[in-house]
Structure 1
Amino acid sequence: MNKVIKIVVTGPRGKMGREAIRMITNTKQFQLVGVIDRNNNGKGLSEIVSMEDQGQDCSVFTDVNQCLRETKPDCLLELSVADAAYEHALAAIQFGVRPVIGTTGLSQEQLADIEREANENKIGCIVAPNFAIGAVLMMKFAEMAAKHFPDVEIIEMHHDEKVDAPSGTALKTAEMIQRQRQEKQQGHPKEIEKLSGVRGGDFDGMKIHSIRLPGLVAHQQVLFGSVGETLTIRHDSYNRTSFMTGVKKAVETVMHVDSYIYGLENILE
């Protein structure tokens, strides 16, 4: 019989947090033992979010150390905001709890700290800029294409409540393309921006453009250009249930690894 995995979720009032709670509740081998919220300490989860079709209630904590000490989880599912995520992840590792981090906006220095702590303590830790399987495949396909199409631009589109730009997915895509592509400056060498920033952010010579609009969830296009042809690779998440297959996979996998892993593509078969 598979061991039940006890999970703490951060950011339970957010859209991703609520969807994750629903997924955990409906997964036989998962047990929700606590949530971390910046408010509502001491309340029950059912007092701060609707528990329709969700059978697991639990306590709400504002202090990560108190939560981990009292609930003794196996996994911390981090879905809050970047500054809190950093603190939560380091605390989890110190308690011997395995973090799965979906929060984006963490700095390279913060990620390096988490990586070092996880590896030194031999604690599994998975950081996933995107949990959608289709988005991971999009990134892998883009990496493959970059061997043959070195001219590329990325357009990422998200809802207008997203605070970090560019998205973690766009940055991860650019990093994967970078592995297959020599740095080059694209466009006309004498190009002039008549409106500052109109050509997007620069990553190793490729441009990244961020769009924020109500009605969007998470969408990305990777556009490649060559002589007489273009190639567009696109992924769309229309709702947050699209992320739950990857979240479930990450939680199950983190229980069997003893080091830091960045990117869901590294745990897919």
Structure 2
Amino acid sequence: MTIPVASATPSPVPETINVAVLGAAGRMGRTVCDAIEAAAGLELVARYDAGDDFSVVRESGAHVAVDFTVPGVTEANVHALLDAGIHAVVGTTGWTDESRQRVREHLAQPAVAAARTGVLIAPNFGLSAVLAMTFAARAARYFESVEVIELHHPDKIDAPSGTARHTAAAIAAARADAGMAPSPDATETGHDARGADVDGVRVHAVRLRGLVAHEEILFGNVGEQLSIRQDSFDRVSFMPGVLLAVREVVTRPGLTVGLENVLDLS
């Protein structure tokens, strides 16, 4: 979803977009830095990590900052970027309705709105993952039962993943729009074995060495099952989506949640 601010006049796009990377020393941050340095029309102007002074970013001339840090600091980073007049592309998970609302309110402040600053928060930048989420939302109204399984490496600090939560929320919204009943489930005892509940959709998290990022959405009716499976085997698979977001956010004032909103999926 996109929350527009100010007028509909397109924001000017610089000939070369200067980019800062927050969380630059992490696995994703290093991959993002390499992708930006190799991309036409983009220039890496700052690498920022824990312990650094934010002036490194503020004084770098960055038009856009990409945040792949940790949930505990990402919201504060976005507010600092808005105060500095820098667009933000955020891949860090852990966002809530409340934290996104605080960003909307900051974007609506007169100085920020006048600068037409944009924030794009994406639970997943993998194009296959975005397509899987989109297909799942469209299939949701046709099946009695649905469950989501997400599988990641054991160093991931949040569970369920932001991707799985985003997927489940979109499925739940589609089912609600269609007036569907909750998935049938006679479980009475389970000792948390039924996983997390996201708007009535069960989500299960697997953490296993050797995995990177994977999701399977299971739909069931009497006598049939549909499985939508997405696998990311290397972090470079996220880079086309990150680069697309960097190029798009400078033209999209306000808050955009989900990369599907900048893809032509009509």
Q: Same fold (TM over 0.5)?
A: yes
The residue that corresponds to 1:154 in the other structure is 148
Matched ranges for 1:56-205 at <5 A: 62-64=52-54, 66-120=55-109, 121-122=112-113, 123-182=117-176, 184-189=181-186, 191-194=187-190, 196-205=191-200
Find the aligned partners of 1:208 and 1:247 in 2 and give their Cα distance. Answer: 26
Task: Tell me if the contact between 2:19 and 2:45 (Cα under 8 Å) persists in the aligned partners.
Answer: yes
Aligned to 1:33: 45
> TM-score, normalising length from structure 1?
0.86
Q: Is the 8 A contact 2:172 2:200 kept in 1?
A: no
What residue in structure 2 maps to residue 47 of structure 1? none
Shift of 1:8: 0.8
Q: How many residues align?
A: 244
Q: Residue in 2 aligned with 1:51?
A: none
SS in 2 for 1:173: helix
Higher RCO structure (Cα 8 Å, ≥6 apart): 2
Q: Which consecutive unaligned segments of at least 5 residues does structure 2 have?
A: 1-12
Give the distance between the partners of 2:88 and 2:14, measured in 1 at CA: 20
Tell me how far apart the structure 1 counterparts of residues 162 and 247 of structure 2 sit (CA, whole Å): 22
Unmatched runs of 5 consecutive residues or more in structure 1: 40-61
Partner of 1:43: none
8 A contact 1:4–1:29 mirrored in 2: yes
Contact 2:91 2:125 in 1 (8 A): yes
When the two chains are superposed, the root-mean-square deviation of aligned CA atoms in Å is 1.6
Residue 12 of structure 1: how far off its partner (Å): 1.2
Question: Does the CA-based 8 Å contact 1:16-1:240 persist in structure 2?
Answer: yes
User: Residues 119 and 268 (structure 1 numbering): CA distance in 2 closer, same or farther, change over 3 Å?
Assistant: farther
Q: TM-score, normalised by structure 2?
A: 0.87
Q: 1: CA distance between counterparts of 2:65 and 2:185?
A: 48
